[in-house]
Amino acid sequence: MSLVGALDPRFSKRIQQVFGLEAAPLTLDDLTFAISDKVAVGDIEVANLFAGSPTRHEVDFQGEVKHTHCALDALMLPFLTGRDITLRSECPHCGDVVAVKGTRSGFRPSRPKAVLSLGVALEGTGQAQREACPYINLFPSPRHYREWAAVTGGALTIMLSLKEAHRLLRGPGCC
Ligand SMILES: [Zn+2]
C-alpha cells in the first residue's frame, strides 16, 4: 500500500517548521520517510512522549498506565520500543473512547471505522506538543473527524485510516 496524494502546501510548510524537518513533505510518502528517519536516528525519545499529567490519550504500556500528548505519540511506541500497547483515546468531538491495540505489525481499533487526524496550528512557534498535538486525535468514524474539523479553527488537518497511520509510522520498507 502506498500513501499517495499531495499534501496542502501550507500543511507541508507548517509540518516542516513545527517538526524541524530538513524539507517540507510534499506527500504522505515524504512524511513517512521523514518520520521513519527520525525514529531510525533516535531523534524521538520515548520519555518525551509521556505527559506529566493526564491527557485524553491513555496508554497501557505493558501493564503501566501512562498518558501521551497525542494519539500518534502513543502509536509510535511499538516502533520505538518493540512493545505492544493499548491506547484509549477520547474523541475530541464527543468524548467517546476509541481503543486501539497497537503492535509493530498493525493497529486494531475497537471501532472498525476509526480514523486518525494529523494536524498543525496555522501559526505559532512553540513545540510540537503545543502546535500539533491538540490536532492529532482518534475518532470513532470519519463523520466525527469531519464534524470536529469543521468547527476547529486555526489549524490545518488531514484524516488517515489506521492502516495509513500504521504505514506512516512503520516506514517505507516492504511487507
Ligand atoms: Zn466523536
Residue 75 lies in a domain: yes
- Which pTM value belongs to this model? 0.91
pLDDT digits (tens, 9 = 90+) for 42-64: 788 888 889 999 999 999 998 89
For residue 34, the CA-to-ligand 1 centroid distance in Å is: 30
**Overall domain count for the chain:** 1
Q: Can you tell me whether residue 39 is helix, strand or coil?
A: helix
Residue 25 lies in a domain: no
Residue 142 lies in a domain: yes
Query: Grid coordinates standing for 113?
Result: 471505522
For residue 41, the CA-to-ligand 1 centroid distance in Å is: 36
Give whole-number Cα distances, 135 to 84, 91, 93, 114, 148, in Å: 24, 11, 11, 16, 10
- Of 10-14, 30-34, 75-79, minimum mean pLDDT range: 30-34
Rounded to whole angstroms, how far apart are CA atoms 3 and 32?
Answer: 9
Q: Can you tell me whether residue 117 is helix, strand or coil?
A: strand
pLDDT digits (tens, 9 = 90+) for 63-112: 899 999 999 999 999 999 999 999 999 999 999 999 999 999 999 999 99
Residue 83 lies in a domain: yes
CB proximity list for 130: less than 8 A, separation 6 or greater:
121, 124
